[in-house]
Amino acid sequence: MEKLNIGVIFGGRSGEHQVSLMSARSVLSALDPRKYQVTQIGITQEGIWLTGENVLESFETGNVEHLTPVTLLPEPGHATLYQRPANPRAGKFKPLPTPKVFFPVLHGTYGEDGTLQGLLEMADVAYVGAGVLASSVAMDKGLFKDLMTAHQIPVVERMLVWRKQIETQPEDVIAQAEAFSPYPMFVKPANLGSSVGISKCHNQPEIREGLIVAALYDERILIERGIEAREIEVSVLGNGEPIASLPGEIIPADEFYSYYAKYEDNRTQLIIPAMLSTDLTQKVQHLATRAYKAINCQGMARVDFLIDKTSQEIFVSELNTIPGFTNMSMYPKLWEASGISYSHLLNRLIDLAIQVRTERDRNQYSFCLIDNNI
């Protein structure tokens, strides 16, 4: 049987570049070599697309000089990867084998935020995961939570400030935050993931520092009321009729599920399945698919929840359209606990991508008036 060419894209211009490499390592090791011919495409932190032999290993070691620069034309019918000449004025673009399906394993900006998805849409190729709209909405925590509120899906109270306000009127921002919520508060970039740039602030010095850190990563910063909560996650899979996994619980080694607790501290515990009542389990699964549908998500997502330890109130925290795929990541672990193995999960995601492309091909992109009398 002819193998399907899959283009796995990783790295990227993001604070989550290294996390992407870890996720790509797991995905590449689990793709069935009997079914797939894999083209590895790494994107440097400067935005250069590279392919060749042992791309991931080259990115991990920082030795990428021998790799070949490539580009993808954003034109339907020309969805071929092209090798770029070292000097564009002195050489021609050389076509390379075209992946049938692209599998972005990119986290954060320029990969999970709809920008890459827009390029792939323009090229008219199949790709794994959410489309432009869902990707961009989910990536922006402020906009995402506004949309959840519009759909009567519970989220924690928050306020949004701009980097310019923090730089020019820091004391006013802190005063507004203190009037908005008691300590502790969480400060986070509106557009990023993997807990990069997030601070839990217990007092004025901490919130002042937290605002400065968050402003390094985005021009819009979210300030949220802190609650004493259990951190619950649910994996979602599917297109029009998504299904939800068993929930899992994070017991972080840090004070919250920080970048350090996620990727560096092995004391963080992942409890799968979470010790929730049947009622709470069904509620978070239902809310997970509601949130997923509300932003028109496709393929996959991980929906994160906070459950107040005192009141048992459930709040949607965020939705990740390209969740982590590392060997410690919740998304594949939850599906394994729900009866879908890692390799089968990847097969399902690739099939879902092809389904989306097939459905999109039914759309008409030209318009003519229809004579109803004929």
- Whole-structure pTM value: 0.89
List pLDDT tens digits, range 189-198. Answer: 988 765 678 9
Contact 222, 188 (CB under 8 A): yes
Q: Are strands 4-11 and 36-43 parallel, antiparallel or unpaired?
A: parallel
Residue range 301-350, pLDDT digits in tens: 999 999 999 999 999 999 999 999 987 789 999 999 999 999 999 999 99
The superfamily CATH assigns to domain 138-154+228-359 is ATP-grasp fold, B domain (3.30.470.20)
Judged against a pLDDT cut of 70, whether residue 263 lies above it is answered with: no
Q: Which of 6-10, 51-55, 73-77, 365-369 has the lowest mean pLDDT?
A: 365-369
Q: What is the pLDDT of residue 98?
A: 85
In this prediction, residue 327 carries a pLDDT of 74
Structure confidence by residue, pLDDT tens digits, 9-31: 999 998 889 999 999 999 999 99
At 190 the three-state DSSP class reads: coil
> What average pLDDT does the chain have?
91
Residue 200 sits at φ, ψ, to 5 deg, of -100, 120
Q: List the chain domain ranges.
A: 4-127, 138-154+228-359, 158-225
Cα gap 250→229, rounded to integer Å: 11
Fold category of 158-225 in CATH: Dna Ligase; domain 1 (3.30.1490)
d(CA 241, CA 323): 19
The CATH number that domain 4-127 falls under is 3.40.50.20
pLDDT digits (tens, 9 = 90+) for 207-224: 999 999 999 988 999 999
**3-state DSSP helix/strand/coil percent for the chain, to nearest 5?**
35, 25, 40
Contacts of 244 (CB under 8 A, 6+ apart): 234, 235, 236, 285, 286, 288, 289
Residue 112 above 90 pLDDT?
A: yes
